[in-house]
Amino acid sequence: MDAAPRSATSSNVRQRRGAAAEELAVGYLTARGIIVLARNIRCRGGEIDILCLDGRLLAVIEVRQRARGQFGGALASVTRAKQRKILRAARYVLQTSPALRRRLMRFDVIGVEGLPEDDHEISWIKDAFRSG
């Protein structure tokens, strides 16, 4: 009997948890009156998990999930390199969506601590980082 390589199995578990955390984040945002415009916008340089309107403001939301709070937890896992990828994806959105160019943009992080399908806590950091 052949077993799947551990890395492939671990990767699938991480992907499912990440997708579940994004679903939690969307529910959390919409319950607060935020309008979700798009999800999982990908370009060559990066990805945006959730793109929203918070009033007149365009909010770019990065969702991070961690089972445990070690090493700073989910919120601390948004490194400078990850921020650069999000910024590149935001530039792509502005280049391809002229109607959004006039809006002010904010970069937020939503952290899901714990397992999405179990006990968890959601934290939302508005304006978590800036471009430039």
Mean pLDDT per 10-residue segment, the chain (132 residues) = 57 84 95 97 95 96 79 73 95 94 95 78 92 76
Domain ranges of the chain: 6-129
**pLDDT for res 125:** 93
**pLDDT for res 104:** 95
In degrees to the nearest 10, what's the CA dihedral of 38, 43, 47, 50? -10
- Measure the CA–CA gap between 118 and 48, rounded to whole angstroms: 25
The alpha carbon of residue 97 and the mean position of all alpha carbons in its chain are separated, in whole angstroms, by 20
The alpha carbon of residue 2 and the mean position of all alpha carbons in its chain are separated, in whole angstroms, by 35
**pLDDT for res 76:** 73
**pLDDT for res 74:** 65
- Measure the CA–CA gap between 78 and 109, rounded to whole angstroms: 8
The alpha carbon of residue 88 and the mean position of all alpha carbons in its chain are separated, in whole angstroms, by 14
pTM of the model: 0.85
**pLDDT for res 1:** 44
**pLDDT for res 12:** 86
CATH domain 6-129 topology: Trna Endonuclease; Chain: A, domain 1 (3.40.1350)
- Measure the CA–CA gap between 30 and 25, rounded to whole angstroms: 9
In degrees to the nearest 10, what's the CA dihedral of 92, 37, 23, 43? -10
